[in-house]
Chains A and B, each alone.
Chain A
Amino acid sequence: MKVIVVGCGKLGSALALELARRGHGVTVVDIAPDAFARLGAGFEGRTIHGVGFDRDVLEDAGIKRVDAIVAMTDSDDANALIGRIGRTRYRVPQVISRLHDARQAHLYRSLGVHPVSTITWGVDRICELLSFHQFEEVLTLGDGEVEIVRADAPTLLIGTAVGGLNVPGEIQVVAIERGSHAFIPLSGSTLHDRDILSIAVMSTSKPRLKTMLGRL
């Protein structure tokens, strides 16, 4: 895949390095020539010094042939603009613009650009991590009859089969997150320490589930 990354800051340079490491053709554009130092000596992609919405710069970067353009500058206006240029002027298949001020998400959408708010992502992810130790409702289905909840694997059940938690028609473990992976367990799958369970539960059976998980 050929990708243009505009903005060689901490995030832009890390993205460019990762894409290059995965074998993609990367061209990095930045207005400050010393920004490219962040890429280190081993970077195999191209670097272009210039304004990220300048026609000559973009065409030199190959915008007519790329598969994606990612706008990672520190200006929301510039990111939105670069995204819109990619989308409307060059029909780049994938356009991603970083959004700093989450309140401006509406602006990006008005401009037809998909906003990626790294701050919102970070906040959401940290909240998720913090809530691992709670019995957390993540999804309510229908009129609230069925809920999907997340919880730590109960210490007492570690080493036993997941099926021990399932109650037909009431409680069903639907997924397990283990480290950075997730999978759908069989009833015979063994629970490990620090597993995080996603459990579908009838709302009427929640007290029973809480008891089973040792949270009264």
Chain B
Amino acid sequence: MFVLIIGGGQVGGHVAELLLAHGCEVTIVERRDDVLARVRQDAPGARIIPGNGTDPALLEAAGAASADVLCAVTGADETNLTIATLGKFEFGVARVLARVNNPRNRWLFEADFGVDLAVNQAAVMARLVAEEIDDVS
């Protein structure tokens, strides 16, 4: 299983670590120099590519066309949506996951923007908190 992760921050780095432990082949694209150094340490088994994940040429070089899964997990929703759209419609990636940073933008994370699965951290956390409160009361 080849997984291409765009965004090597705390979320992307952690996802990479987990997937590597599961035996996946992982490539990470990250734009920020300071973050690159950390993700190299955290995910030593991953192939790391510095650069802009919305650049189609860079995505191609990163192997988007042969990726089984694409994870767009940068800290900017407009970037994740752009990457998801490219990944699905330009490179035909079978499974596209995208991170929702601001729950207000959730309405865009749908099939017409190339998103198969929207990972909405705030919603997950809110649900857990609500369940916890239900349990307590």
Listed in ascending order, the chain A residues whose CB lies under 8 Å from chain B are: 51, 53-56, 75-78, 80-81, 84-85, 88-89, 103-104, 106-107, 110-111
Contacts and interface: CB of A to CB of B under 8 A. Distances in A.
A51 B107 CA distance: 14
Interface in B24-57: 54-57
Given A81-B78, A110-B85, A89 B112 contact: yes
Name the prevailing secondary structure of the A interface residues: helix
A80 B114 CA distance: 14
B108 A80 contact: no
Contacts, number: 48
B81 interface: yes
Q: How large is the interface on B (under 10, 10 to 19, 20 to 34, 35 or more residues)?
A: 20 to 34
A84 B90 contact: no
Given A80-B82, A84-B85, A111-B86, 9 more contacts: A51-B104, A55-B104, A81-B78, A81-B81, A84-B113, A85-B108, A89-B112, A104-B55, A107-B55
B112 A77 contact: no
B113 A77 contact: no
Contacts of B81: 77, 81
Contact of A110 (B78, B89, B107, B108): B89
A63 to B, nearest CB: 13
A173 to B, nearest CB: 44
Contacts of A81: 78, 81-82, 108
A103 B89 contact: no
B92 to A, nearest CB: 12
B10 interface: no
Given A75-B78, A80-B82, A110-B86, A53 B54 contact: no
A107 B86 contact: yes
A53 B82 contact: no
A55 B107 contact: yes
B56 A107 contact: yes
A80 B112 CA distance: 14
